[in-house]
Structure formats: structure tokens, C-alpha cells
Amino acid sequence: MTGNEYGFDTLAIHAGQDPDPRTGAVVPPIYQTSTYAQDAVGAPRLGYEYSRSGNPTRDALQECLAAIEGGRRGLAFASGLAAEDTLLRTVCRPGDHVVIPDDAYGGTFRLFSKVAEKWGVDWTAVPLGDLDAVRAAFRPGHTRLIWAETPTNPLLNIADVAALAALAHEYDAMLAVDNTFASPYLQQPISFGADVVIHSTTKYLGGHSDVVGGALITADEGLGQELAFHQNAMGAVNGPFDAWLTLRGIKTLGVRMDRHCDNAERVVAYLETHAKVGQVLYPGLESHPGHETAAKQMSRFGGMVSFRAKGGRDQAIEICNRTKLFVLAESLGGVESLIEHPGQMTHLSAAGSPLEVPADLVRLSVGIETVDDLLADLEQALG
């Protein structure tokens, strides 16, 4: 099944998920097995030998991921960071260099600054919205990768995927796009020239805050094969039950994202008029510096909203402590609304670095509850 034949929601529900040939089961079974009987030495029945190398439930997820991102090859990992690590160590060698966003997800920044750096892979953090800054950071012959996130976590900055792809390719480098915040329903980076898409499937793809996972989707078969080799050789694979939960989540991605967007738009409109709220960060706002680019590459603007508390850090923390429906928790992209203080929570690992986030920032993952209940909760929390 490819994106050319079917619409997004059809692919989300069917790609990689033909009824089970043996039983007719409509839903791909959870093949909770580590190994597979072979008919003779060197003759595995359907090519499956060992579940690190291959598992039918994971294969179903991988095929679905490739279809919904419009890519050639999908690979599912134990977590988003496991996917990132596998990508990094497939594409980069000691002496290589990567351009990363100056407001990358905290865990991504930690992977570069505390892990990759020790292995001799250097990085430069720049605002990816500034193409001159990206170009200036390039070290021709050494820069292998532009690593983009758009929208970014938690500042919701926007990078122009097509422009970054053109720039990367000019220098024989690749563009990797972390598409976790938008999800493929709202944005498909490969269609704008990205070479590989990264996901924390823990977030919108899984969608129910009940599973941790990651994914890589490649535009071409060559990089797909190299990554598949490393997926097995490095071993950070997605387990069968996790793959099954993620597949189940993906089936409703489209309807969930529409509701996430509807609710986020209402929350943004409410926050914009509140006396105690400073700047509201949402790419759907015309005042957002990345709005035009976002409108070009996203169909809608997502369920993530950040805002700055006029009363500073203490008020931001107080708001986070006072919501009742918005659960105070890290992570995002589930059906339930979450609130957090990035400076003290998700982005604590970036404190003191160029990626430090403002102390008065509050991040909302707007869920799909009844929106009036969400607005009432924010009203009481803002006091």
C-alpha cells in the first residue's frame, strides 16, 4: 500500500495490516515470541529467525509508518532516543559534525552534548529559522546532517523543511526531521525533501500515553537498508506488544489530530485575551514568526501550545501546580491534556546551555477532552 493509491486515514488503518493469513484475524496478532521454528538448517519458514532481527507485529508497524510518512522504509525502535542514537551512529563517524536546532528537545540535546560528543561527533546549535546561520555553521566535508525539529519542543519554532533540505543537499549532507510534534497527519517532511524522519511514537502516534517507542522513516531504500542493519546490530528494537499498541494508536491518528487542533485553537484564543498571560506560542497565530512557513508545510498547527506567565517563574510553576484536568506530567500527544514547566522538567538537562528555555514558560499538550472543561480548568488555575 502506498500513499499514491490511498488517503492518509486508509493507510493508517490498513497499511501493513492485511488480515492474518493463517486465522483471518483482522488485527495483526501480537507475536510475543523471541524465536521461530525452522524447517531445516538455514530454512526459516517466512524469513523470521529471531525477534531482534524481525518480528511480524513490528513489521506491520514499520510498513504502516513508511506508508503514512510517504517514505520507503520504516523502522521501529524501543524509544525516540533509541531511534535517534541509531540514526546518529549510522550516518556519523568520529570527526563528523551535525547542525542542530538551538531549541532542540532536551533529550536530543543531551544525546549530542553528553554522548555523541564523547565519540568524536561535534555539533553546532543554531536557530534553524535563520538560513544564513545554518549556512555559516556548515563545515563542508564534515557536516553530515542537519537535524531539524519543527515545530520545536517547547518553543514551537518553525523550520522551513524544503529550504533546509536544499541547503543540506548542496553540501552533500542529509536532512533529518523530528516530526514528533506535527505527526504525519499534519506534516510529511519527506514530501519537502527530508531524507529521514524521526518520531517519538510515544507521543501522537501512540496517542494514549501507554507506550514508549521511536521510529525512523527514510526517503530512499539505501539509507533504509543501512539503518535496518544497525537496528539489528545495535538492538534497540520495539517490542511486539509495544508495536501493537502503537499500531492501534495510529488507526485513529487523523481523528485525534483534528480534535487536538480544534481544542488547541480554542485554548490559544482564550490565553491570548488573558491578563496574566504574556506571549502565547502557537504556529497557527499570524503573529508567530514561523506562521507563513508553517502554513506552507503543515495542514493545521497541532495540539501543542506554550505560553509565558506574566508573573514570571513562580507564577508559571503555580499554574502548573493548580490545574486539575491538565495533568502535571512530562510527555505529550496523548488523549489527555498535560501541563508542565519545561525549565524544571523536560528541559532541565538544557539548563546553563545555549538551549536553556525561559523560566516563565508553561507548555500544554492539549488533549481531546470537552474543550469547555479545559478552558474552565485553565481559568481556575490562572486565578
State the catalytic residues: 52, 105, 178, 203
Angle at 302 between CA 256 and CA 360, to 5 degrees: 125
Regarding 149 and contact with ligand PLP (CB under 6 A), the answer is yes
Beta strands in the chain (DSSP E): 38-40, 43-44, 73-77, 97-101, 122-126, 143-149, 174-178, 196-200, 214-218, 277-281, 304-309, 327-328, 338-340, 361-365
Residue among 97, 203, 341, 363 that touches ligand PLP (CB under 6 A)? 203
Regarding 87 and contact with ligand PLP (CB under 6 A), the answer is no
CA 341/CA 339 separation, integer angstroms: 7
For ligand PLP, the binding residues in 261-300 under the rule CB under 6 A are: none
CB of 148 to ligand PLP, least distance (A): 11
For ligand PLP, which is the closer residue by CB, 10 or 353? 353
Residue span binding ligand PLP (CB under 6 A) among the ranges 39-47, 176-184, 321-329, 358-366: 176-184
Q: Is the peptide bond before 154 cis (omega within 30 degrees of 0)?
A: yes
Residue span binding ligand PLP (CB under 6 A) among the ranges 134-142, 175-183, 236-244, 283-291: 175-183
Helix axis angle, 56-69 to 240-251, nearest 10°? 40
Q: Is the peptide bond before 151 cis (omega within 30 degrees of 0)?
A: yes
For ligand PLP, the binding residues in 92-111 under the rule CB under 6 A are: 105, 107-108
Residue span binding ligand PLP (CB under 6 A) among the ranges 27-35, 73-81, 123-131, 356-364: 73-81
**How many distinct helices (H) and strands (E) make up the chain?**
13, 14
Residue span binding ligand PLP (CB under 6 A) among the ranges 39-47, 78-86, 117-125, 255-263: 78-86
Regarding 80 and contact with ligand PLP (CB under 6 A), the answer is yes
For ligand PLP, the binding residues in 320-349 under the rule CB under 6 A are: none
CA distances from 87 to 106, 108, 214 (A): 17, 12, 11
Cβ atoms of 139 and 94 closer than 8 Å: no
Cβ atoms of 158 and 283 closer than 8 Å: yes
Regarding 180 and contact with ligand PLP (CB under 6 A), the answer is yes
Site map (CB under 6 A) of ligand PLP, residues 44-63, x = contact: --------------------
Regarding 143 and contact with ligand PLP (CB under 6 A), the answer is no
At 284 the three-state DSSP class reads coil
Which residues here bind ligand PLP, judged by CB under 6 A?
Answer: 79-81, 105, 107-108, 149, 153, 178, 180-181, 200, 202-203, 212, 214
